[in-house]
Amino acid sequence: MTLALITGGSGHAGAALQRELLNQGYKVRCIDFDKDHRAYEGLEVDLIEGDVTKKDTLWKIFEGVDVVFHTAAFICLDRRYKDLIRNVNVVGTENVCDVALQSGIKKMIHFSSVDAFNRFPIDQPLLEDKDLVKDKNAIPYDLSKADAQRVVLEYCNNGLEASIIHPVNIFGPYDYKVGLGTEGLLDLANGKTPRLPNWGYNYVDVRDLSKTAISAIEKGRNGQNYLVAGEYRSFIELGQMIGEALGKDIVKGSIPGFLAYLLVPFSYINSVRNGKPSTRTLDTIHTGKTGNKFVPSTLAREELNHSPRPIMETVIDFVKFYSDRGLIKI
């Protein structure tokens, strides 16, 4: 039986990935430093405490592993945390690549992000040949994902077998720790943001992402990056779809984009009080207003059999999963 190792197994991508791997007959081992183990409940996985930023914790964990899915990342758009972002996303990736190479891992799938690319102009199709972000003044998270990919490619040139996938905004069930993207959608579902700017994202179901990542083990080319997308929806459209699934009207209309900036200082004050990163920053706004409408994912469709489900199916499952856990008030 093939042993698959997931870094960051309690995150959104990792939680869905372990379920799909088990469904496909893999044996699953997860590295996690988090004490929140809800993502593992009821699953036959080998959970080992470790930290990708501390290479000495990784060697024993990699023993006997056949394939690695590197999903661990710090997703944060608060520049006060730029050093931690870089340490987890870049140094952590270098550690994983080094241990994977020296441990004789057969294949690694690196989870990057659409944000690793210089995505402009946003009204044109986003393809895999776009340049990676390199401006040192860019959003720290974006630059960290681009530099992490450069690390992976360097290791590919030195013997590591790896493919890179770039998901768009991940959507769907299993985000037990409620990450940045899910938090915004839950606010929307609970009527906290009834009026929205006319911006949007391309969304991919986390379960479809998992299937595509697993397909890349056998079919992904070494050193190749694959954009993994679904459907583009404006925030207003997605809110209307969530409202339809809930059976109520949760979107009241649009607001001018500049009003989003008024929330930034309040979010900052709240983050200081709770000791957590701010969820509404200038970088959050920039990311929200520059979502790419056209992400065809042609390579992933042709080479990895990527087949995204209709977004309304994801919406229905999203509403059920978080309603069942009391995070959406029906």
Using CA of residue 3, residue 7, residue 9, residue 12, what is the dihedral sign? negative
Whether residue 277 is contained in a domain is answered as: no
pLDDT tens digit string along 21-42? 999 999 999 998 888 899 999 9
Q: What does the block give as tokens for 1?
A: 């039986």
pLDDT of residue 268: 86
pLDDT, position 153: 98
Find all residues with CB under 8 Å of 218, minimum gap 6, and list them.
none
Please tell me what DSSP assigns to residue 65: -
Does 243 reside within a domain?
no
Q: Are 34 and 6 within 8 A, CB to CB?
A: no
Q: In the beta sheet, which residues pair with residue 29? A: 5, 46
Share of the chain above pLDDT 70, in %: 100
CATH number at residue 213: 3.40.50.720
Give domain status of residue 26, yes or no. Answer: yes
| In a domain? residue 283 | no
Note the pLDDT tens digit of each residue in 133-181.
Answer: 999 999 999 999 999 999 999 999 999 999 999 999 999 999 999 999 9
Rounded distance between C-alpha atoms, residue 311 and residue 138, angstroms: 31
Contact of 228 with 16, CB cutoff 8 Å = no
What is the arithmetic mean of pLDDT over 192-204?
93
- The pLDDT score that the predictor gives to residue 7 is 97
Comparing 262 with 174, the larger pLDDT belongs to 174
Range of the domain at 159: 3-179+202-233+293-310
Mean pLDDT of the chain: 95
Predicted local confidence at residue 265, as pLDDT:
87
Task: List 46's β-bridge partners, or say none.
Answer: 29
Q: Is residue 125 part of a domain?
A: yes
3-class secondary structure, 33? coil
For residue 263, pLDDT beyond 90: no
Closest listed residue to residue 41, CA positions, set 205, 176, 211, 170 = 176
- Say how many domains are in the chain: 1
Segment among 204-213, 247-256, 312-321 with least mean pLDDT: 247-256
Residue 330 pLDDT exceeds 80: no
**108: which strand partners?**
68, 162
What is d(CA 7, CA 108) in angstroms, rounded to the nearest whole number?
A: 11
Which pair of tokens denotes residue 26?
């893999």
Residue 80 has pLDDT above 80, yes or no: yes
Report yes or no on 46 lying in a domain.
yes
Q: What is the pTM of this model?
A: 0.96
Asked whether the predicted pLDDT for residue 11 surpasses 80, the reply is: yes
**pLDDT higher than threshold 90 for residue 259:** no
CA distance 144 to 284: 16
Residue 76 maps to a domain? yes
Asked if residue 195 belongs to a domain, the reply is: no
Q: What is the mean pLDDT of residues 276-288?
A: 91
CA distances in angstroms from 85 to 77, 80, 128, 169, 183, listed in the order given: 9, 10, 24, 18, 19
